[in-house]
Amino acid sequence: MADGTRVASVEDVPENGSVLFTAEDPFTNEREVILVRCAAEPGVEAWVNNCTHEDQRFDRGDGAPMRDGQLICPRHGSLFDACSGHCDNGEAAGTTLPSVAVTVEDGAVFLSDDGYTYLHEGGIDDDDTPSSTSHIGL
């Protein structure tokens, strides 16, 4: 049995797109993380859901834009290798996405990074709690 929290099944991770979940980092900050397909074993990688150039999310709730095994920054078009997280072009050239360790076992993806704690599927604001308790709209 794999250590860690089950995040998704491998078949849930699209060939071109991502699965989005929220985790807590070692400093108790909520971070969005994306699972993407990768040609190298174990076939799925996890990255913090932000471009290294600017605070720009790849997956805004409907899957990260991808092309030919690369994540595309929706702001400036920098391309990040889905397997290594490295970028060699555009505004983010020379940088690498922060990785989050996952384990794939028996067709399931588990969050196995000791620095992160799984909170919920979806983005930070997708936890089904109201953003306001007021019923008055302005």
CA dist list (Å): 20 to 32, 82, 86, 138 = 7, 15, 20, 31
127 part of a folded domain: no
- Alpha-carbon distance 89 to 61, whole Å? 25
Residues 54-68: tens digit of each pLDDT = 889 999 999 999 999
Residues 43-94: tens digit of each pLDDT = 999 999 999 998 899 999 999 999 999 999 999 999 999 999 999 999 999 9
- Alpha-carbon distance 106 to 20, whole Å? 21
Instruction: Compute the Cα dihedral for 31, 37, 41, 42 and give only its sign.
Output: positive
53 part of a folded domain: yes
43 part of a folded domain: yes
Indicate the pTM of the whole model: 0.88
Q: What is the mean pLDDT of the chain?
A: 90
Domain hosting 100: range is 5-121
For residue 102, the domain's CATH number is 2.102.10.10
Number of structural domains the chain divides into = 1
- Sort 22 into a burial class: Cβ within 10 Å, 0-12 / 13-18 / 19+: buried
